[in-house]
Amino acid sequence: MITFNHLTKQYDDTTVVDDLNLDINEGELFVLVGTSGSGKTTTLKMINRLITPTSGQVLFAKQPVESYPVRELRYNIGYVLQQIALFPTMTVGQNIALIPELKHWPKAKVHKRVNELLDSVDLPHEQYRHRYPKELSGGEQQRIGILRALASQPQVILMDEPFSALDPISRTQLQDLVLKLHDKYHQTVVFVTHDMAEAVKLGDRIGVMSHGKLLQVDTPEAIQTNPVDEFVSSFFASTTNSDGILEQPARELKTFGKATISGTVSVKSEQPIETVIAQLQVHERVNVTSDPAFSVSAAEVLQYLNERLVADKQ
């Protein structure tokens, strides 16, 4: 369905995507995961021509994306952003119906499609069709954003960190919704996230990116059992939820702090906290190089989390 052939994107002297080669299959829920600046969102935006590659090629349905008129290409590719971007002066029904109407669907077909989609995500159309975005919660607005992307039955849905601004409960509900809708409609989905736990939950396959390079592509199970390198291994093992609290399966927490590599590793202070926790999965201690420098161990992290949990209960 989507093919990247030696895809590269550069800005001046900075290479954001570096010689990427990848095939995404029709009907697949494919997740691109990586830390900030890894190139995953840039890769996503080259599919629907929001960004033009420096070299290489993106194929959509076996044709170069630049061979399609831009409007035609984007009519066949739904797009869901973190910024929900519903039109505030349009009702829920009008927001969902936008692309089908632009594609000149019959009014009766549009009306039926809107009602069907609302009912499928537990937003009864009698109650929600005529509401405005400001009358909805953040999670409900993002549901409408997903439905708008699905409404015209595009061949591909692109989802760029769509849930990262939501609370944990809404995020979990919407992850479940994506799985439900994918199982029902079988559209090809390319989902970008920095959260490996989200990637593992959603992806048929996962592509792990770092510094513009695609390090490994495989099923969640295969990456977990056979990571290509230490970065993939540590990134897979360590994820945090939106509150910054360590969020791992209980079996992994049992081994947290039991270093597989002795000694200390250093990371720069501008690196995300996920990087520190990832390194603590395999090293005894992490030095954070800043002014002044400081260091932390897995035991100290667990003590802090325990104290925070106790304080929250009081």
Residue 171 banded pLDDT, cuts 50, 70, 90: confident
Instruction: Please say if the pLDDT value at position 111 is more than 90.
Output: yes
Of 94, 191, 83, 68, nearest in space to 151 by CA:
94
Q: pLDDT tens-digit profile of 161-170?
A: 888 877 777 8
Q: Which domain holds residue 261?
A: 250-312
Distance CA 181, CA 162 (A): 15
CA distance 25 to 244: 34
- Kindly compute the dihedral angle of the four CA atoms of residues 264, 265, 271, 274, in this order, to the nearest 10 degrees: -70
pLDDT score of 214: 94
Could you tell me which residues come within 8 angstroms of residue 4 by beta carbon, excluding any fewer than 6 positions away? 20, 21, 22, 23, 43, 56, 57, 58, 59
How many Cβ atoms sit within 10 Å of the Cβ of residue 41? 22
* % residues pLDDT > 70 (the chain): 78
Question: What sections of the chain are H helices per DSSP?
Answer: 40-47, 70-75, 92-102, 107-120, 125-128, 138-150, 168-185, 196-202, 220-225, 230-237, 250-253, 273-280, 298-313
166 and 269 together in one domain: no
Residue keyed to tokens 């349905």: 61
| Those residues with Cβ within 8 angstroms of residue 168's Cβ, 6 or more apart along the chain or in another chain | 241, 242, 243
Which region holds residue 312: left if phi is over 0, alpha if psi is between -120 and 50, else beta? alpha
- Same domain membership, residue 234 and residue 264: no
Same domain, 141 and 219: yes
Looking at 242, 265, 297, which one is the last position of a domain? 242
How far is the C-alpha of 257 from the C-alpha of 107, rounded, in Å?
60
Whether residues 124 and 230 share a domain: the answer is yes
DSSP, res 197: H
Q: How far apart (Å, rounded) are the C-alpha atoms in residues 105 and 97?
A: 10
Closest CA to 151 of 179, 121, 126: 121
Q: Could you tell me which residue, 280 or 220, shows the higher pLDDT?
A: 220
pLDDT at 292: 63
> Is pLDDT above 60 for 255?
no
Residue 52 sits in the same domain as residue 21: yes
pTM for the model = 0.72
**What 3-state DSSP class applies to 243?**
coil
pLDDT surpassing 60 at residue 248: no
Mean pLDDT, range 6-18, rounded to an integer: 93
Say if CB 259 and CB 284 are below 8 A apart. yes
Which of 31 and 274 is assigned the larger pLDDT? 31
Are 205 and 255 found together in one domain?
Answer: no
Count of domains in the chain? 2
60-72: average pLDDT: 92
Claim to verify: residue 83 and residue 199 sit in the same structural domain? yes
So what's the pLDDT on residue 247?
A: 41
Domain finish residue from 242, 263, 278? 242
Distance of CA 211 to the CA centre of its chain: 17
Co-location of 264 and 220 in the same domain: no
Residues 21 and 43 reside in one and the same domain: yes
pLDDT in tens, 77-99: 999 887 777 899 999 999 999 99
225 in the same domain as 307: no
Range of weakest confidence among 49-53, 199-203, 256-260, 277-281: 256-260
Residues paired with 261 in a beta bridge: 283
Question: Is it the case that residue 241 has pLDDT exceeding 50?
Answer: no
Tell whether 136 and 256 lie within a shared domain. no
How far apart are alpha carbons 228 and 288 in whole angstroms? 26
∠ Cα 71 77 80 (to 5°): 115
Assign 252 a pLDDT band (cuts: 50, 70, 90). Answer: very low
Which CATH number is 10's domain given?
3.40.50.300
- The CA distance from 34 to 217, in Å, is 12
Task: State the Cα–Cα distance between residues 222 and 205, nearest whole angstrom.
Answer: 9
Mean pLDDT computed over 295-314? 62
Query: Which residue among 219, 242, 265 closes a domain?
Result: 242
- Give 155 or 168, the one with higher predicted confidence: 155
One domain for residues 29 and 176: yes
The pLDDT, as a whole number, for residue 306 is: 59
The lowest-confidence range among 31-45, 58-72, 226-240, 255-269 is 255-269
- pLDDT mean across residues, the chain: 82
What single letter denotes the amino acid at residue 65? V
pLDDT digits (tens, 9 = 90+) for 48-61: 999 999 999 999 98
| pLDDT surpassing 90 at residue 213 | yes
Residue 231's pLDDT band, with cuts at 50, 70 and 90, is confident
